[in-house]
Amino acid sequence: MAGPCIRGLHQRGHMKRLLIGIIIWIAGCLLSVSVQAKKVIGLQEAINLALERNRQLLDARDSLTSARYSLQSAQADFKIEISPSTKVGFSGSSGRSTVEDLGLGLNFYKKLPWGTELSLTPNISRTDSQYGSSVEVGLAQPLLKGLGRKQAMSGVYSAQFGLRSSMRSLQLSEINTILSTVRAVYDCIKQKEELRQNMASYDRLKSHRESLLAKARSGYGPAIDMYRVELELAQAENAVVQSQEALGDAYDSLKVLLDLPLDQEIDVKAPLEFSKISLSLSKALNIAFNHRLEIIQAFDEIKEARRLSEVAKNDTWPQLDLVVKYGRLGYGTALGSSFGLDDHYWTVSLISNTDFFRRREKLAYQQSLLNVRRAIRRYSLIKDGVTREVKNSVRMLRKAWRQIELRKNSIDNAKGKLELAKVKFRWGKASNFDLIEAEKELRQAQTDFIKAVTDYIVGTYEFRRAIGTLMDDSGYDEKLNNWH
């Protein structure tokens, strides 16, 4: 009789079934009761935590702060500089006694944005019991090399470009962090759903096994049916264990991204609602060309390369400076008598000190032209790369949408097939082979559906990143000021 064989198989697998039941019960507790004690993190909260605590972003913010200091340093060249000067000395010669030489002065210096340099130098001196006072005003103006704002403020413009680049780099890091967080969160959601589906499949198989045992106690049921369900239960158990491990790995990856302790218990919540994106490829490309930071940065690099080329061209001119000085002098045996400044002097000079051939400057200018062409090629390459990313993102969205529709039909078909197999098996019209196969198909279809849904949701974020609208850059300067 088949009944005793089945009962014997049941006795031999009793302890194994008990162990499996304990494992599934623990998994259920992890998904239900113990969740109440975990820190529950929503999608927006996870993004905020990542933007606040991600360690790579902290490095990018430090780079931005360094760029701001560089700009302040370059701007300091056009601030008023005050430098004191002192002199204490003694001199003498044969037939002459030692003479003291004392002096104290201040130098006020100001460089103007078009290259003009202004100076004011008051000075007091004492030599051999005689006091002297002077005030000198000076002006130096480049006439060829270094003339104009582009040349005089080149360092400031370079520092401003560096600051803009650092700001864009930080925002790109934020965008990548947001996208990484979305992927990590929905990976956790996907693993949770897969674990839930695998546990539900295990429960259905367990219920089927109980019905087989009931038939065995009545003396009915072929042994092959019990072998099939035992084999499928083992596979379902393995699927549950693998899902638990994958869920734990997904949680750990999210914790690292959010800079949370790895031993902290967390759970995540994120909406699984989605809608179809119907933006045409041409419109998506137009938006991307206007909003992608990589394209904006590459275009800025072209402008910077052209500006530096103009500076290099100006450097090929010979140096020729107009220098004008005017001073008032006064001497006396007493300090106060020297303040009269009765004498005066003035000079007007054209000063040149430059290499006649200027080979280095001319070669530097030729190199700057190469840099302009290189920047133009880089802009074209980046634009092509953005085009490729947008097209690929659109294709992936369309593929994920088709997968969702296909998986919905697969789930409906698998459910119908499973119900039909249950009825046929219940009435003895078929073995449990069809039932087991339908159960496997349903479990796989549900897993594939969850994957398709999460892929599409993540794909919408990747699409927004591809067209440059994932992160709103309005008020970005204010946000940076708050950070620093």
Same domain, 460 and 380: yes
Tokens found for residue 12 = 């031999």
Report the pLDDT value the prediction gives residue 423, as an integer from 0 to 100.
Answer: 78
* Domain finish residue from 303, 332, 359: 359
Three-class SS string for 181-220? HHHHHHHHHHHHHHHHHHHHHHHHHHHHHHHHHHHHHCCC
Contact 435, 425 (CB under 8 A): yes
* Domain finish residue from 359, 388, 407: 359
Report the pLDDT value the prediction gives residue 6, as an integer from 0 to 100.
Answer: 41
Instruction: Determine phi and psi for 123, rounding to 5 degrees.
Output: -150, 145
Distance separating alpha carbons of residues 99 and 52, to the nearest angstrom: 68
Report the pLDDT value the prediction gives residue 129, as an integer from 0 to 100.
Answer: 74
Report the pLDDT value the prediction gives residue 330, as an integer from 0 to 100.
Answer: 86
Same domain, 137 and 283: no
Same domain, 335 and 430: no
Distance separating alpha carbons of residues 115 and 342, to the nearest angstrom: 33
Report the pLDDT value the prediction gives residue 3, as an integer from 0 to 100.
Answer: 45
Distance separating alpha carbons of residues 170 and 56, to the nearest angstrom: 10
C-alpha 219, offset from chain centre: 67
Same domain, 277 and 297: yes
Report the pLDDT value the prediction gives residue 472, as an integer from 0 to 100.
Answer: 61
Same domain, 354 and 372: no
Tokens found for residue 118 = 């202004």
The most distant pair of C-alpha atoms in the chain lies apart, rounded to whole Å, by 141
Q: What does pTM read for this prediction? A: 0.76
Residues of the domain holding 345? 80-88+101-151+322-359
Distance separating alpha carbons of residues 104 and 263, to the nearest angstrom: 68
Distance separating alpha carbons of residues 333 and 339, to the nearest angstrom: 11
Same domain, 348 and 403: no
Tokens found for residue 362 = 């001319």
Same domain, 447 and 350: no
The answer as to whether 446 is a domain residue is: yes
Quick one: which of 13, 404, 22 has its CA closest to 240? 22
Instruction: List CB contacts of 224: < 8 A, sequence separation 6 or more.
Output: 431
Same domain, 280 and 342: no
Instruction: List CB contacts of 300: < 8 A, sequence separation 6 or more.
Output: 161, 164, 165
Contact 136, 325 (CB under 8 A): yes
Distance separating alpha carbons of residues 405 and 401, to the nearest angstrom: 7
The answer as to whether 229 is a domain residue is: no
The answer as to whether 131 is a domain residue is: yes
Distance separating alpha carbons of residues 435 and 34, to the nearest angstrom: 34
The answer as to whether 344 is a domain residue is: yes
DSSP 337: G
Same domain, 309 and 408: yes
Same domain, 463 and 315: yes
Q: Is the dihedral of CA 64, 68, 71, 73 positive or negative?
A: negative
Kindly provide the residue ranges of all beta strands, DSSP E only, lying in 37-179, ordered along the sequence. 39-42, 81-93, 96-111, 117-127, 130-142
The answer as to whether 207 is a domain residue is: no
- Residue 476, CA distances (Å) to 11, 44, 467, 471 in order: 69, 19, 19, 10
Per-residue pLDDT of the chain (484 residues; tens, 9 = 90+): 444 444 444 445 555 555 555 555 555 555 554 444 578 999 999 999 999 988 788 888 999 999 999 999 999 999 999 999 888 877 666 566 666 778 888 999 999 999 999 999 999 888 777 888 889 999 999 999 888 899 999 999 999 999 999 999 999 999 999 999 999 999 999 999 889 888 888 887 787 777 777 666 665 556 676 777 788 788 888 888 998 999 999 999 999 988 888 888 999 999 888 888 888 899 999 999 999 999 999 999 999 999 999 999 999 999 999 999 999 888 887 777 777 788 888 999 999 888 888 899 999 999 999 999 999 999 999 999 999 999 999 999 999 999 898 888 888 888 888 788 777 767 766 666 777 777 788 888 888 898 899 999 999 999 999 999 988 643 333 433 333 2
Contact 199, 26 (CB under 8 A): no
Contact 340, 317 (CB under 8 A): no
Residue type, 7: R
Domain count, the chain: 2
* Domain finish residue from 359, 378, 407: 359
The Cβ-side half-sphere exposure at 157, using a 13 Å CA radius, reads 17
Report the pLDDT value the prediction gives residue 30, as an integer from 0 to 100.
Answer: 53
The answer as to whether 168 is a domain residue is: no
Contact 324, 348 (CB under 8 A): yes
> How far apart are the two ends of the chain, measured CA to CA in Å?
82
Same domain, 293 and 394: yes
The answer as to whether 17 is a domain residue is: no
Contact 213, 6 (CB under 8 A): yes
The answer as to whether 426 is a domain residue is: yes
Same domain, 341 and 409: no
Distance separating alpha carbons of residues 170 and 483, to the nearest angstrom: 12
